Chains A and B, each alone.
Chain A
Amino acid sequence: GESVGLHLPTLSVQEGDNSIINCAYSNSASDYFIWYKQESGKGPQFIIDIRSNMDKRQGQRVTVLLNKTVKHLSLQIAATQPGDSAVYFCAENRGTGTASKLTFGTGTRLQVTL
């Protein structure tokens, strides 16, 4: 069935390196995507979003890339820091208008090593 998924359940990165977290989606009609960060014991925190009319969007140390051709979404974190250690979720918007809602992937755990 249609789903939002992640390629890697756990990603280990050395402090200072760049991190890339990937997400695949299967619904070509999805038009809005969001990345969330969830630290242990806390609710998910919004990081960055992108709409389907864009290929790339940058924030502070984070970049989201959207490849609609292969239905792939990625989150890049520059100069990864220990505070970046968390589980990262991608979410896609399905449906339109009041029927629209986000569907979340299963998450990728990012571990930052010193």
Chain B
Amino acid sequence: GAGVSQSPSNKVTEKGKDVELRCDPISGHTALYWYRQSLGQGLEFLIYFQGNSAPDKSGLPSDRFSAERTGGSVSTLTIQRTQQEDSAVYLCASSILAGETQYFGPGTRLLVL
């Protein structure tokens, strides 16, 4: 079956613009996660969704970052008024249940000029 997909694969934007990143999780997976990975660094947790529960937003770095998950499937990560330090790879993962094995998408490489 299909794995986790993300779009776009690359995004170049100007400082101050808003961007939307999309994640399509594996069908049937109830948990969905967003991470940020700066060049040569580890994974920084941003937010996760589990079923119909309120999302865990504890990793969002500022109020410019938000995420939605519609219909328990597709998720969108939005970064408003982008800044150069937002440049990173944004990775999405999904798992059957929270805490179980997470399967990652290929990531979206964001460059803010």
Taking the complex as formed, is A42 at the interface, i.e. its CB lies under 8 A from any CB of chain B? yes
Residue of B nearest to A49 (CB): B101
Contact A98 B50 (CB under 8 A): yes
Given contacts A43-B91, A44-B104, A101-B33, A89 and B99 within 8 Å (CB-CB) = no
Report chain A residues within 8 Å CB of B50.
Answer: 98
**B interface residues, Cβ below 8 angstroms from A:** 4, 33, 35, 41-43, 45, 48, 50-51, 53, 56, 91, 93, 98-107
Which residues of A in the span 85-108 have a Cβ within 8 Å of any Cβ on B? 89, 91, 93, 95-107
Q: How far is it, in angstroms, between the C-alpha of A46 and the C-alpha of B102 when the chains are bound?
A: 8
A43 touches B107 (CB 8 A): yes
For B99, give its contact among A36, A42, A93, A107 (CB under 8 Å): A93
- CB-defined interface of A37-66 with B at 8 Å, one 1/0 digit per residue? 000001111100100000000000000000
Q: A98-B50, A98-B53 are in contact. Are A42 and B106 (CB under 8 A)?
A: yes
Q: How far is the CA of A104 from the CA of B100 in the complex (A)?
A: 14
With A43-B107, A98-B53, A101-B48 as known contacts, state yes or no: A34 contacts B101, CB within 8 Å: yes
Q: How far is the CA of A106 from the CA of B37 in the complex (A)?
A: 10
Contact B98 A43 (CB under 8 A): no
Please state if A102 and B42 are interface contacts (CB–CB under 8 Å).
no
- Are A102 and B104 interface neighbours, CB within 8 A? no
Q: Which residue of A lies closest to B105 (CB)?
A: A43
